């Protein structure tokens, strides 16, 4: 630990966790490693609100975030203790390093995720630095968890150290019904043989034949996942739902290499494991899983001294580029020698990983260029809007196709902008953009400006073609997916920054003039609904139905008046011939008529 402002280290023991769940875990078999959806677990949803609330990810086959049952059970038991809550209060505001070995590493990762969740929800102070370092930890969650962590920008907070020989970090790539639960639990308990009789779980060493069978099982299934590069419909394939997240440091007696994306992590977990057993390594499962202390202590010496002369030989022999030399050194450090069967494949994977990691950023830079090119279309619609501000406003002008030449151009620009933003969302759905793209202020603000400017024209087009009569109201039945997503981005931006961005909110500083664009993108759809309700109320003879309809209209009138008074609308809303101005006049007539009807009853 440290003093105020210092770094605090919080370590979790896999042994303690195994002791607490050993007997029921072994009795229930592979069920202890079955994924548990955070959204469907009340305690899990409270501990990880952002992750539990994450919507199904299209790129993760529509999965919801799920984590390993055994680790979640251990963490929630710990999280409910007064001691843990006291610890959280003590470390708040400090730099924290969560760490753990084996099952303790999985619990440490959940503790780090919990701390990140509660810290990001607190607006009282800026988030404190958090790092989670695991050693030989089993896989924790599914692909949806991995992607949710990337979207929250937490991927860099996790570092997983994995030994070349260790089966535990690779075991959950196997079908869950083939996972020998007693091996994982037993390897935890081997560290404390004196307490075996309290658990009822035998901790005898795994025999050689069983070791070899387990290695072959793991190698076959990790290879399958590595070759596929992603888990496609794991249920039908009989494979595992688990995926890695965060950075992976792959250690061997020769040094260490780091990869920082899940695809490369899976591939290198296979390549390093296969390489050590290809050359006939006979390290026992227990020794491979308990070697991390020695590996960490020897790593600096291996990196700086032992490999120095050989590194120079490698660099001298690589005539192509320093990049190729770096790939070779990374392979050597992770334990994949140039003579290994997997060397060529591993080299290709590392290069592909580098390109894949760079592609989303390059695509984002390319989008910035395209955004600049499409900006004139936006400027033309702004000019179109300004040309009708003093008369009827651009919403009504577009709906009525006033000035056909101007309308034609504005419509083309509207469609071009829509195609651009649909293309952006397609790239995002296909993982061609950074996972935190929707959190980047430049793109959230650009999407919001586009939405406020162009969605009124889409509403006008919807009503001009009478689609509200055949499909239903625009907000419920006619709104494009992009606008719903942009609404979500904008609200998340407000939640992330601790400011309000709701459609009806008044800005912290009162406006001195009307907004350039009406801050409710669906304002005109609400006006159209008010017109329909007004016409219905005018024809209504039933007193109870009339009162209900007038109540709804009063709610809209109050909402619209607040927007106008706070100047959250553009000046075109108040244009003499705008739909809103004409509706206000019609509303006043309806109220007078209702007052006269009420007076006549008395």
- The mean per-residue pLDDT over the stretch 514-537 comes to 95
Per-range mean pLDDT, top range of 213-217, 359-363, 579-583: 579-583
In the sheet that holds 141-142, the strands lie side by side as: 35-37, 66-68, 141-142, 242-243
Is 525 a residue whose pLDDT tops 90? Answer: yes
Residues 561-568: contacts with CB within 8 Å, 24+ apart? 562/504, 563/504, 563/518, 563/519, 563/520, 563/523, 566/506, 566/507, 566/510, 566/511, 567/510, 567/511, 567/512, 567/513, 567/514, 567/515, 568/504, 568/506, 568/507, 568/511, 568/515, 568/518, 568/519, 568/520
pLDDT of residue 212: 80
Whether the Cβ atoms of residue 276 and residue 268 lie closer than 8 Å to each other: no
Is 547 a residue whose pLDDT tops 70? Answer: yes
pLDDT digits 0-9 by tens, 93-144: 888 999 999 999 999 999 999 999 988 877 555 567 899 999 999 999 998 9
Is 156 a residue whose pLDDT tops 80? Answer: yes
Is 262 a residue whose pLDDT tops 90? Answer: no
Confidence of residue 58 (pLDDT cuts 50, 70, 90): low
Q: Token match 């440091």: residue?
A: 249
- The mean per-residue pLDDT over the stretch 243-257 comes to 88
Is 225 a residue whose pLDDT tops 70? Answer: yes
Give the number of other Cβ atoms within 10 Å of residue 461's Cβ. Answer: 17
Is 487 a residue whose pLDDT tops 90? Answer: yes
pLDDT of residue 353: 72
Confirm whether pTM is higher than 0.75.
no
Least confident interval from 237-241, 256-260, 557-561: 237-241
User: DSSP secondary structure string, 494-508?
Assistant: HHHHT----TTPPPS
pLDDT of residue 261: 82
Least confident interval from 40-54, 270-284, 293-307, 329-343: 293-307
pLDDT of residue 120: 80
- 408 by Cβ neighbours in 10 Å (0-12 / 13-18 / 19+) ranks as exposed
pLDDT of residue 224: 86
pLDDT of residue 11: 93
Is 234 a residue whose pLDDT tops 50? Answer: no
pLDDT of residue 193: 52
pLDDT digits 0-9 by tens, 65-85: 999 988 998 899 888 889 999
How much of the chain exceeds pLDDT 90, in percent? 43
pLDDT of residue 278: 65
pLDDT of residue 574: 95
- The mean per-residue pLDDT over the stretch 155-178 comes to 90
pLDDT digits 0-9 by tens, 392-410: 999 999 999 999 999 999 9
Confidence of residue 42 (pLDDT cuts 50, 70, 90): confident
What's the CA dihedral at 21, 24, 28, 30 to 10 degrees?
Answer: 20
Per-range mean pLDDT, top range of 192-201, 229-238, 276-285, 529-538: 529-538
Strand, helix or coil for residue 159: strand
Confidence of residue 564 (pLDDT cuts 50, 70, 90): very high
pLDDT of residue 188: 67
Count CA within 13 A, CB hemisphere, residue 470. Answer: 6
């Amino acid at each position: 630990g440290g003093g105020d402002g210092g770094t605090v280290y919080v370590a979790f023991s896999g042994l303690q966790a195994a002791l607490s769940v050993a007997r029921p875990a072994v009795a229930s078999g592979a069920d202890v490693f079955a994924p548990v959806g955070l959204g469907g677990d009340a305690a899990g949803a409270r501990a990880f609100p952002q992750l539990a609330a994450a919507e199904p990810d299209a790129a993760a086959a529509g999965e919801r975030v799920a984590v390993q049952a055994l680790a979640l059970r251990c963490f929630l038991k710990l999280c409910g203790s007064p001691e843990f809550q006291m610890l959280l209060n003590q470390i708040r505001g400090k730099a924290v390093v969560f760490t753990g070995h084996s099952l303790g590493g999985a619990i440490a990762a959940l503790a780090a995720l919990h701390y990140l969740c509660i810290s990001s929800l607190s607006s009282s102070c800026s988030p404190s630095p958090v790092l989670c370092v695991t050693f030989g930890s089993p896989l924790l969650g599914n692909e949806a968890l991995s992607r949710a962590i990337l979207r929250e920008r937490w991927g860099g907070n996790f570092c997983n150290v994995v030994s070349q020989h260790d089966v535990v970090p690779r075991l959950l790539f196997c079908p869950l019904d083939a996972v020998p639960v007693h091996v994982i639990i037993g390897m935890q308990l081997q560290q404390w043989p004196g307490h075996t009789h309290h658990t009822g779980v035998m901790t005898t060493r795994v025999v050689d034949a069983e070791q070899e069978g387990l290695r072959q099982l793991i190698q076959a299934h990790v290879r399958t996942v590595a070759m596929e590069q992603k888990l496609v419909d794991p249920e039908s394939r009989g494979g595992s739902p688990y995926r890695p997240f965060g950075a992976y440091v792959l250690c061997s007696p020769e040094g260490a290499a780091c990869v920082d994306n899940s695809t490369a992590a899976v591939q290198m977990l296979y390549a390093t494991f296969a390489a050590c057993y290809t050359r006939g390594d006979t390290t026992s499962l227990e020794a491979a899983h308990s070697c991390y202390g020695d590996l960490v202590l020897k790593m600096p010496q291996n990196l700086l001294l032992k490999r120095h002369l050989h590194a120079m030989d490698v660099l001298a022999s690589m005539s192509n580029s320093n990049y190729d030399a770096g790939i070779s050194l990374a392979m050597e450090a992770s334990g994949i020698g140039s003579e290994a069967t997997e060397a060529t494949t591993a080299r290709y994977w590392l290069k592909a990983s580098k390109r894949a990691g760079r592609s989303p950023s390059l695509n984002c830079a390319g989008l910035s260029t395209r955004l600049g090119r499409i900006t004139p279309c936006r400027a033309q619609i702004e000019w179109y809007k300004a040309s009708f501000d003093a008369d009827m406003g651009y919403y009504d002008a577009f709906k009525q196709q006033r000035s056909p030449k101007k309308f034609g151009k504005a419509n083309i620009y509207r469609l071009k902008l829509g195609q651009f933003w649909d293309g952006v969302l397609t790239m995002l759905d296909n993982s061609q953009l950074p996972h935190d793209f929707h959190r980047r202020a430049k793109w959230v603000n650009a999407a919001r400006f586009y939405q406020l400017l162009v969605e009124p024209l889409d509403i006008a087009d919807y009503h001009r073609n009478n689609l509200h009569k055949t499909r239903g109201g625009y907000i419920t039945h006619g709104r494009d997916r992009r606008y719903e997503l942009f609404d979500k981005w904008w609200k998340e931006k407000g939640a992330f920054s601790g400011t309000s961005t709701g459609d009806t909110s008044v800005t912290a500083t009162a406006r001195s003039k009307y907004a350039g664009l009406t801050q409710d993108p669906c304002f005109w759809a609400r006006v159209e609904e008010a017109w329909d309700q007004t016409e219905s109320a005018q024809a209504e003879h039933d007193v109870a139905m009339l009162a209900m309809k007038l109540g709804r209209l009063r709610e809209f009138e109050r909402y619209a008046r607040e927007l106008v008074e706070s100047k959250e609308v553009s000046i075109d809303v108040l244009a003499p011939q705008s739909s809103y101005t004409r509706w206000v006049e019609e509303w006043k007539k309806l109220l007078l008529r209702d007052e006269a009807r009420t007076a006549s009853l008395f």
